[in-house]
A = this chain, B = another copy of it.
Amino acid sequence: VLPRTYEGENCSIARALEVIGERWTPLILRDAARGTRRFEDFQAKLGIARNILSARLGRLCEEGLMERRRYQERPPRDEYLLTEKGRDLEPVLLGLMRWGDRYAAPDGPPVVLTHDPDGHPVEPVLVCAGCGEPLTPGSVATHPGPGAAGGLSASPGT
């Protein structure tokens, strides 16, 4: 078990970052979501040291975000596939991409997204499934939840 980055934080944001906050991990998940499966292909796309890539993929498998599957026996070859738990990070990656497109892409977005079935441009927006309205920072209040016992990083009502 790795030492925790945010020891003492009883917070789902901190806990998510414990899993995906290591350097390169979000970009491995990005490439996996775009179809990369094989070690050599991740390595070529990311240009990182093999031992780092191996450690990151191993951790993602241990944490259940990816699974390793043998696709060839002789010689043995594995591929790495996103699980549902890994795919569920897609909103985080899209949120980062949208922010980067807006504030850190002086030449325009490096990548654009289209949405099936008709291929219209994607404009991601976070809404409340309950009422359908966009979630804006001023319209959301935080309260202690069922897992709050023993310490809480919320400021109720702010």
Contacts and interface: CB of A to CB of B under 8 A. Distances in A.
A54 to B, nearest CB: 19
Residue of A5, A99, A125, A141 ringed by the most chain B CB atoms within 10 A: A99
Nearest to A33: B137
Interface in A64-99: 64, 82, 85, 87-99
Given A11-B97, A12-B98, A115-B133, 6 more contacts: A12-B100, A31-B153, A88-B103, A89-B99, A91-B91, A112-B145
- The number of chain A residues touching the other chain, given as a range, is 35 or more
Interface string A102-138: 1111111111111110011111111111110101111
Instruction: Count the copies.
Output: 2
Interface of A: 5-6, 8-19, 21, 23, 26-27, 30-31, 33-36, 45, 47, 64, 82, 85, 87-116, 119-131, 133, 135-149, 152-155, 158
